[in-house]
Structure 1
Amino acid sequence: MRVIIPIIFFLFTFSIFAQDFSNPKSVPTFFGSDQSSFTGIKKKDIVFKTLEFISKKTDSLFLKRMKLKENDSIEFQISYIIDAYGYIENDSTIINTPITSFNNYMKLIINMLPRFTPAINDNNETIPYKIEFTGKFNVKSKKLNHFQYEVNEYFLADIDIVPIFPGCEGAKDAIDCFNQKMMEHININFNYPQEAQKKNIQGRVSIQFIVDEFGNVNDIKTRGPMGGELLEKEAHRIMSLLPKFTPGYQKGKAVKVKYGIPINFRLQ
């Protein structure tokens, strides 16, 4: 009889919006930025400098054409992919504002961003990386030179109080306690799919989920090996059984926190 061993590794990522499933060792670095900075700073730097770049490239004539007046504001959603070579991936840019022509204009600007130092994975291979953020532009002095952006999901380094796994209240180290409780949760609920056993399907499944501002676990996403849909389904089921958390807080406000957990399914 084969012994089934769920091998569980924990990696926690707290992201400014979406992070890809590769759990990169290093996110991209914007041209001229400090490459020694930790991931949280780099991501914020990318967002800030992207907005700054858009502001500098948007002239008053275009704003007039868009019928944007002094103190007008535009809310936006922006996402794009930095490919494994540091360039903006073709057709990856998505802009969402109330003005279609403004969307098209900003797409052109973002595609003009300078080349990044690409993200790398644990094997020091360069990989694609997705950047997403939302916010608001304000028109000042006939320029798009004032903006703000919303941070809805955070890095560990940015969190004042991390989410608390039930039973970890009062623990000296909330993250260590989280690790232990998560391992217990997976071991209790783990069930290697019989069909996967018969077909000798095994491998790593990367899982992401969000603990939202109410402590609920949602937006569970999985990515497994080729042909590993059964493993992905089991990983999703286990995460869907997670209890309600005490939410994380930043500056006294409950916020969303994103976690990434890779699980290796192995048959021996």
Structure 2
Amino acid sequence: MKLFINRILILVIFFQVAFNLVVLSQSMMDNDGNTINQVVENKKIGKWILYSEGDTQIPNGKRTLECIHSNDTLNGAIEIRENGKLILKIGKVDNNSKIEFTAFKGSKTIEGYFQKKGSKVKIFNLSGTEMTSKSRDWVAAKTEFIPLYYNGIEELHRDIKSLLSCDNVKGAKGTIYVGFTVDTNGYVKNPEVFKAINTTGESQYLLEKEALRTVMLLPRFQPGFQSYRFVNTKFRIPITFE
């Protein structure tokens, strides 16, 4: 299974024939015959693996995060590896008070904890003092994983095309910018149109309606992750009808 990463998703959709509606897989992902990133009744189950931005091949990505869930509860530690080497181990997340971690930066071992302060997560040494910016920024960068579309951008293009209906837009042309949230399980939520270009009136309405309908039918993304927890992440996608 391949991943091709792009932080800004740019979709140019050409339609020439009508496409049949396709219901895409939502509940689990396959990694060389092994089930990962499974969701049952909106709860994480079993082994989860996240891949870093820029990876082009899995399971040989540069940086990966692995953890085990049981009925949406983290079971054991979160482990982050780079080039197969353990670089960060985050202790069991029982609550949002203090989440301890051990990081391995070259020959240096860094110990500390994450703690949520208001809407932000801060990083402290075990002594209770905030980490220096150099160590803090390294830990923050290594514990961030952005949402990714499984199988990559080209697969996303194909999935969009398979879901679009030419009949619904009656030949209208233009570009619709759609924003949505990738939730903590990777599902697309709350899509909304925030810009329309080169279209007005009824044509704009038809394009907006079809863009929103199509986005809601997309399968799960890899969800975002920061510090010690999965997070909701906002995306914006321009869809051009030509």
Superposition TM-score, scaled by structure 2 size: 0.38
More helix by share: 1
The TM-score, its normalising length taken from structure 1, stands at 0.35
Q: Larger C-alpha radius of gyration, 1 or 2?
A: 1
Q: Per residue, is there more strand in 1 or in 2? A: 2
Higher relative contact order (CA 8 A, sep 6+): 1
